[in-house]
A and B are shown apart, each in its own frame.
Chain A
Amino acid sequence: MSAIRFDDVWKEYGDHIVLERITMEVEPRAFIALVGPSGCGKTTLLRMLLGEEQPTRGQILVDGKPLPGEPDADRGVVFQRYSVFPHLTVLQNVMLGRELRDAKFTGRLFGAARRAAADEAIKLLAEVGLAGQEGKYPSALSGGMQQRLALAQAIMRGPKILLLDEPFGALDPGIRADIHLLMKRLWNETHLTVVMVTHDLSEAFGLATRVIALERQRNRPEERDRYGATVSRDLEIFPRRSAELRSSVQPAPTGTTRSGKEHQPGRPGALVLKEQP
């Protein structure tokens, strides 16, 4: 749950300008969908949010503070591929974040701490529809299940912002619809601000509170290098959609719950997750 501000952000690779004049505010608990044609810099924008790349000009602020220059536990991520670790079982994948947090030197938990983490991970796995798969390796799971696992793994660590890089792009339509329901539910029941890059407009409009289109304003061949893409459309979904804060652990911060809620298809209140301090 964090506000993000882009302050006149540019991204250039040498002479090539990819993104220019990106200025926008993202309110806490928003669900942003970034859309646009291939090569318009959606993923670059996401990678800057992730800390994997730095803006050439301008800055990105999270809750008023400049973004750290490398990825950290405040920002979870799910990629289209390679999001889960192939050498860990499903359960180990989900527990990893907890182990990394609590065991700085060994990176492993033992005894009671391990059991507690495992219990929590099993609960979370059941939430995302992976009950009974705990002992399998990711390669034994279908693509949709792997992405569910990746979501559970990211959420287990309790990030403030969740970044999704075409996470459902490679899935069959039926499976995608299921995982969309899951995604909505996770967004409703955790304290996440979500930024999702997608190719799929119906996915963008179906999930997000706000759809942002990136586009090159000038696209003639001789202009292509010197003019980057920028925000061409910034659409608030109507009727307004906002996260329902069902978790009783934390009171709703002011300004995040609004009236006129849309019907939420998720199951209520099942996910009990505390926000990380």
Chain B
Amino acid sequence: MRLVNLRPGRQTRFYLLALPFVLVAIAYFAGSSARLAQNPNDKLLPALPSMVQAVKQMAFEVDARTGGYLMASDTVASLGRLGSALAISTAAALVLGIVIGLLPGANALLGPFVSVTSMVPPLALLPILFIVMGLGENSKIALIVIGTLPCMIRDLAMKVQELPREQIVKAQTLGASTWQIALRVAMPQTLPRLIDVLRLQLGPAWLFLIAAEAIASDSGLGYRIFLVRRYLAMDVIIPYVAWITLLAFLIDVGLRVMQRRLFPWFASVRAE
């Protein structure tokens, strides 16, 4: 049988899914035990027990200096920044995406501008943000917004323009004004697509968050990683990276489930 026709069953699919994860874990622990056998004080590839110990200390023991749980407070700080930045980006992208996608005039005015600004490397703007807004929360949130917003607007405007022309005409024959078309035709159909766009921007958003925290911060997951880097504390860094990955993955799954629940009609539209 040709490979293109070979579809894995349920069980095979599960094994296939697990395989790369298992291989990476095996490779890591093989390397780790080899290095530790040579030098028990090796810090580069810590063994599982030392990582468990580090996580226990970071997550479940009160930090003597701050009086809180470090991992929890880091997570809250980072998710707070990420959440507020993405809330701003999403809301602004929804409004501007619909305006640019629906109104030819607004497209002529803002379309090229948005395309150009989406090409600006956001990290190059970080010094400017720090200078203008200081080292506080605002500059970090602003970096994530600047890094994600232009792409979100551009993608969303494109999705609005992809709505069949017939629908816009049909709405007008039902007496809809521009405002009503935006409100009853464009926006409801843009919302599920907004979730797609947001999911695509999650990766960049995390990137900018960690970068901003690494450079100037006193809390957050990125801050912690770059802090303990000074002590080569791989036993903290690796669990933190795994934790960040898990958070990002859960947010992505959450958005996907939300899309399915809130917009049951969308699956068949996308299938077309």
B175 & A157 in contact (Cβ 8 Å cutoff): yes
Structural contact, B183 and A107, CB atoms closer than 8 A: yes
Q: Do A50 and B173 have beta carbons less than 8 Å apart? A: yes
Consensus secondary structure, chain A interface: loop
Where the two chains meet, the residues of B that have a C-beta atom closer than 8 Å to any C-beta of A are 164, 166-167, 169-177, 179-180, 183-185, 188-189, 263-266, 268-269
Question: Does the CB pair A79–B175 fall under 8 Å?
Answer: no
Binds B, one of A81-89, A197-205, A214-222: A81-89
Range class of the A interface residue count = 35 or more
Contacting pair A87 B173 (CB below 8 A): no
Contact of A137 with B189 at beta-carbon distance under 8 Å, contacts A79-B170, A107-B183, A154-B173 already known: no
Shortest distance from the beta carbon of B177 to any chain A beta carbon, whole Å? 7
Which residues of B sit under 8 angstroms from A99, Cβ to Cβ? 184
B105 CB to closest chain A CB (Å) equals 14
Pairwise interchain contact A100-B174, C-beta atoms closer than 8 A: yes
Docked Cα-Cα span, A106 to B177, in Å, equals 11
A159 in the interface (beta carbon within 8 A): yes
Contact B166 A100 (CB under 8 A): no
CB–CB A137/B175 < 8 A: no
The answer to whether B174 touches A75, judged by C-beta atoms less than 8 angstroms apart, is no
Q: Which residues of the partner chain A approach B171 to less than 8 Å between Cβ atoms?
A: 85, 96, 100
Instruction: Please state if B169 and A96 are interface contacts (CB–CB under 8 Å).
Output: no
Interface centre among B177, B265, B266, by most chain A C-beta atoms within 10 angstroms, is B265
A52 touches B169 (CB 8 A): yes
Q: Tell me, in angstroms, the Cα distance from A151 to B185 when the chains sit together.
A: 18
- Structural contact, B175 and A50, CB atoms closer than 8 A: no
- In the assembled complex, the CB of A168 is this many whole angstroms from the nearest CB of chain B, namely 16
Pick from A66-74, A180-188, A235-243, A263-271 the stretch touching chain B.
A66-74
Contact present for B173 and A139 (CB under 8 Å): no
A82 touching B173 by the CB < 8 A rule?
A: no
Determine if A121 is an interface residue (Cβ-Cβ < 8 Å): no
B contact patch SS: helix
Expressed in whole angstroms, the Cα–Cα distance for A79 and B169 within the complex equals 10
A268 → chain B closest CB, angstroms: 28
Q: Is A129 an interface residue (CB 8 A)?
A: no
Knowing A71-B169, A73-B175 are in contact, say whether A96-B164 is a contact too (CB < 8 A): no
Distance from B256 Cβ to chain A, minimum over Cβ atoms (Å): 18
CA A108 to CA B180, docked complex, whole Å: 10
A87 B263 Cβ-Cβ under 8 A: yes
Query: At the interface, yes or no: A153 with Cβ under 8 Å from chain B?
Result: yes
A106 to B179 CA separation, bound complex (whole angstroms): 9
For the complex of A and B, the 9 pairs showing the least CB-CB separation, nearest first, are A73-B175, A139-B268, A71-B172, A82-B164, A82-B166, A97-B174, A137-B265, A107-B184, A107-B180
CA distance A88 to B171 in the complex (A): 13
Residue A101 is within 8 A (CB to CB) of chain B in the complex: yes
- Against B, the Cβ 8 Å flags (1 = close, 0 = not) of A133-144 are 000010110000
**Can you list 30 A-B contacts (CB < 8 A)?**
A50-B173, A71-B172, A72-B173, A75-B173, A76-B174, A82-B167, A82-B170, A83-B170, A85-B170, A85-B171, A85-B185, A85-B189, A86-B189, A86-B265, A86-B269, A87-B189, A87-B263, A96-B184, A97-B175, A100-B171, A100-B175, A100-B177, A101-B175, A107-B179, A137-B268, A139-B265, A154-B173, A157-B173, A157-B175, A159-B173
The complex places the Cα of A107 from the Cα of B179 at a distance, in Å, of 9
Q: Does A65 contact B (CB under 8 A)?
A: no
* Contact flag A139-B269 (CB < 8 Å), given A52-B169, A85-B167, A107-B180: yes
Residues of A within 8 A of B264 (CB): 137
Mark A99-132 against chain B: 1 for CB-CB distance below 8 A, else 0: 1110011111000000000000000000000000
A85 partner residues in chain B, CB cutoff 8 A: 167, 170-171, 185, 189
Question: Shortest distance in angstroms between A165's beta carbon and chain B's nearest beta carbon?
Answer: 9
Find the A residue at minimum CB distance from B185.
A85
CB of A48 within 8 Å of the partner chain: no
**Once bound together, how far apart are the Cα atoms of A163 and B141, in whole Å?**
52
Q: Is A30 an interface residue (CB 8 A)?
A: no
Task: Decide if A194 is an interface residue (CB 8 Å cutoff).
Answer: no
Residues of A within 8 A of B170 (CB): 77, 79, 82-85, 153
Interface centre among B173, B177, B188, B269 (most CB of A within 10 A): B173
18 additional contacts, CB 8 Å, given A71-B169, A87-B263, A157-B174?
A: A71-B172, A77-B169, A79-B166, A79-B170, A81-B166, A83-B166, A85-B185, A85-B189, A86-B269, A87-B189, A96-B174, A96-B184, A106-B183, A107-B180, A139-B265, A153-B174, A157-B175, A159-B173
Q: Which of B164, B170, B184, B265 has the most CB of A within 10 A?
A: B170
B169 contacts A50, CB within 8 Å?
yes
Chain A hits for B183, CB < 8 A: 106-107
> In chain B, what residue has the closest Cβ to A103?
B180
Residues of chain A within 8 A (CB-CB) of B164 are: 81-82
Other-chain residue from B173, B179, B180, B184 in contact with A71 (beta carbon distance below 8 A): B173
